[in-house]
Structure formats: C-alpha cells, structure tokens
Amino acid sequence: MPLGKTRRRLIGAAALIPLLVTTPVNGPLQSASAQAGLRPQANLNPCPKQTGKVNITFWTWEGPPSAIQHIVNEFNATHPDIHVNVDQVTPGFSGGYEKSFNALRAGKAPDVDMIEYYELPNFRFVNGLYNAAGCPAMKNVAKQFPGYINSEDSVGEPGAIYAVPEDIEPLAMFYRKDIFAKYNLPVPATWAQYQSDALALKTDTNGTVKMADMNANDYRLLVGLDWQAGAMPFQYTGTGFTYDMDSSAAQTVANYWESLIKDGVIDTAAGFTTPPEYITWNNGTVATQIGPDYLTGFFKGQAPAAAGDWAVAPIPQWAAGDHSDGEAGGSATAIMAGTKHPYADAVFADWFGDNYPVQVQLYAGQVLSGANSYLNNPAVIDTANPYFGGQAPMSVFRTMVNDVNTNFQWAPNMTTVFSDLQDNLQSAFNGSSTIEQAFVTTQNQAAANLRSLGVTVYTK
C-alpha cells in the first residue's frame, strides 16, 4: 500500500535534516578554492550576466549624503539595467562594522558595502566577502589603481578581488605656516628636526602652542606611523598568524612620541577628529597635524577661522633623504558574500572607484581618489585649494603615494585590535602606562581573541 501523503512529506523533510546540520552556522558556503587560505585560486567564482533589471543595495557612510545620491543617480541613469539603492550607515569604526557583521550573520547583508582597507581581512575572516575576480568588470582593476591597494583588496589571496579601491590615504604633515614663519622655525624634514622645532616652539610661546594633538583616539594614526617606520605588526605565516607589535621599528615610534609627551609639546586633551581637536586647529594652539588626505575636508569644515593659515608638507622622515610613508584610512567598495548579483555589483564597484570624487565638484580637492586616472591627472591633482592659501594639497599627497611601504598587512581581527589598542592607549596617555606597553598588551589580547576563534597564533 503506498505511503500516505503526510508520511511521504515527513520523510521528505527528514531527508533535508543532514543538510541543515552540516551547513556551517556562519552563512553561505564559500567556494572551495577560497578555503585554501593563502594559496592562489584555481577556480574563479561564476559571474553570470543577469537578465533583465536588477536592484542592488549599497551601504556607505561617505558624505555628504546628497552628493553620494547624486553620483548614484548618475550611475543609474547611465546603466539602465542596474538600479543601485544607496543607504547611509554609521561609519564603520563607530559601530557600522558591527551592523554589517550582524547583517551577514542574519543573511541580510547588502550587495555592496563600504569597508576600509584594514577591515577587509576581518570581513574575509568571517566569510563575508565575495571574490569577484571572475567578473568581466574586474578585468582592468589591476591597471586602474596603484599596486599596493589592489593587493589590500585581494586580502592575501593572489588573483582575488574582494573589493575595488575608493580612496587612498597616505600620511603627510599639515602645519601652520603663519606660526612657523612667526617663530622662524624650519619646516621639518626629519623627525629629529620635528622634535627640536617642538621644543623651540615651547620656549618661544611659553608652552601655549603645542606641536601636535594626540591621545588614545589617535590609535589608527599610531599604526600608520609604525607603517612608515617599516614595522610589520601583522604577518600571515603559513596557515597561522603572527603578531609583532613590539618590533624595534614600533618601539622607535612609541618611544619618540612618549618623549614628546614628556617634553610637554603634545596636547593630550585633543584626539583625532574630536571637537577638542577642531578647537585647537581653529585658535592656533597647535602647530602641526600628521594625517591623511581626507583631513583636508575636515579642516575646511571644522576650522574656518584658520582658513589660509594651514599648509601641507611631506611627512618627516627618520633619516634625512628617506622616502617612506604609511597610511591611515582609506576605503574600498566590497562585494559581500551571499549577493545574488555579482555581475552588477562588480560593474558598480568598478565604476564607483573610478568616478566618485571626480564627479562631485564638492569633493574635488578634499580627498585623493585611488584611481590612476585621477592620480595621474594634473588638472585635478594640482587644483589650488583656497582653504590652504592657494596651495594644492593633493599634489603633496600624490607624491606620498609613491613612498608608502607596500608589504604592509592587516590582521584578520582588526576591529578587536583597534578597540583594544584604543582602550590600552587611554592608560598610556593618562600617565599610568606607556605607548609601547599599550602595544604589547594589545598584542596579547588580540592573540588570545584570535586563538579562541580557532587560529594558530604566534607572537614575537
């Protein structure tokens, strides 16, 4: 006698149970080759051209929102078969990444997300990224952007493309040319000169004008300075990972800034892009600011009273004649795992990387796009910026791009590393610890976290 309908249905359902049990808890299965860790991919993800019109979602915190909507509208108008819906989200480092991680876990991630370069390995770590190297739109990415930000977007996997670069953020030195002129200080080309300038300034102004602002909020800047000094705090070793946050290069940087704090030439009440810092930019109580190019927009918006007083110079070097730099920031447009439209995502990500700042006149001169078409275009790079008294800050940053050390790598748990570093630097800046100790403690905490997630971790 044939089985009753209900019993047949039950057996059918039971057959699915093994699938439920073996599917990993963390989201869609990654392609087999991506499991290899660092070995180059043999099989690329399929990237079929979609039929008909597709809607893709794009999360970003780039602003102003009206400008981004304008760019997206232009894309939608010129690409009739793809419609991009853009959502403004909290900046990643202020909680936006937690939102993206949760969305990935829930299977509700956007198709395309704005992720800073340092955070890409963290997303790859949770299998949150989609390797779009097999998509036709990605064919020319290698030629469109400088080599090292392309390798940041491969996340350690040669030939992979998880994201398309957006901007590029090498470090340079913003300085008050009026203060330097008033006290006859040479613009420092070395860190030794920087320190003697700082001491001279302290004597001349009785300590009212500080050389720089720095506190626990400058954790990304400090890692960027380590990068400039040639440190490699995060290294992929075989199938494991090594933390080396207390190398001799890192110690040099830590001890240098520690001595500046002891000299009393650092304003430790003003941290990176916080309101107290903007006040010091405005009222002339700080003479320099080490930072990446996106700060040019911050200066214009937050320090209008000092318009015309600030200028940009190359970052000081450790040895005279050196050409070495690091980065602090910069984002890419990443394609997220679980997306149903990789072809369209790739088209948009590639277009956005090439077009975003150039299209928006508001943005021209306020951030350095990573696209070669922008970097090699003197008409755009050499645009004078009225805030900087007619200087073209981007031409300085453009030369710094060539100086960035290209083998730097980021850890797979940078969100934890950065939040631990920020916490530990609080003790360093309130006097109960040192910057070097903050790096050592952070290293131990980050290693413990990574070990608890099943990775073989070494510490130097």
Partner 1 sequence: MTTVTATSPGTGRWKSPVRTRALVTRAGFLGPFYTAFALFFLLPIGFAIYESLLSQRRIGGVFGRPIEVFSGLRQFGAVFSDPQFWSGIKTVALYVCIQVPLMATVGVTLALLLDVTAPRLARVFRTSYFVPFAVSTVVATILWGTLYTPGSSPLSEFHINIDFLSHNLVLPAIVNIGIWEWGGFNVVLMTTALTSIPTEIYDSARVDGASRWAMAWHIKLPLIRPTIVMSMVLTIIGTMQLFTEPQIMAQISDSIPTYYTPNMFAYYQISADNYSFAAAISVTLALVGLVLSFTFIRLTRRRTY
Residues of this chain that interact with partner 1 (CB under 8 A) are 24-26, 29-30, 34-38, 94, 97-98, 101-102, 105, 121-122, 124-127, 155-157, 215-217, 236, 238-241, 269, 271, 274-276, 279, 412-413, 415-416, 419-420, 422-423, 426, 429-430, 449, 452-455
What separation in angstroms does the CA of 148 have from each of 71, 124, 320, 412?
A: 26, 18, 25, 18
Q: Are 411 and 332 in contact (CB under 8 A)?
A: no
Closer by beta carbon to partner 1, 348 or else 429: 429
Q: What angle do CA 268, 269, 271 make, to 5 degrees?
A: 80
Partners of residue 325 on adjacent β-strands: 404
Closer by beta carbon to partner 1, 24 or else 52: 24
Closer by beta carbon to partner 1, 178 or else 423: 423
The least distance separating partner 1 from the CB of residue 144, rounded to whole angstroms, comes to: 25
DSSP letters spanning 63-89: S-HHHHHHHHHHHHHH-TTEEEEEEE-
The least distance separating partner 1 from the CB of residue 169, rounded to whole angstroms, comes to: 21
Closer by beta carbon to partner 1, 391 or else 426: 426
Look up residue 325 and give its two tokens: 């730099």
The least distance separating partner 1 from the CB of residue 349, rounded to whole angstroms, comes to: 21
User: Residue 40: which of 133, 174, 166 has the closest Cα?
Assistant: 133
The least distance separating partner 1 from the CB of residue 453, rounded to whole angstroms, comes to: 5
Closer by beta carbon to partner 1, 255 or else 458: 458
Closer by beta carbon to partner 1, 82 or else 414: 414
Spatial distance between the Cα atoms of 429 and 270, rounded to a whole number of angstroms: 11
DSSP letters spanning 348-389: HHHHHHHHHHHH-TTTTTTS-B--HHHHT-HHHHT---GGGT
The least distance separating partner 1 from the CB of residue 56, rounded to whole angstroms, comes to: 25
C-alpha dihedral sign at 293, 295, 301, 303? negative
Q: Are 266 and 282 in contact (CB under 8 A)?
A: no
Closer by beta carbon to partner 1, 324 or else 419: 419
The least distance separating partner 1 from the CB of residue 438, rounded to whole angstroms, comes to: 12
User: For the CA atoms of 340, 60, 312, 206, what is the dihedral angle to 10 degrees?
Assistant: -140
Closer by beta carbon to partner 1, 241 or else 363: 241
The least distance separating partner 1 from the CB of residue 435, rounded to whole angstroms, comes to: 14
The least distance separating partner 1 from the CB of residue 138, rounded to whole angstroms, comes to: 20
Q: Are 174 and 309 in contact (CB under 8 A)?
A: no
Spatial distance between the Cα atoms of 366 and 215, rounded to a whole number of angstroms: 25
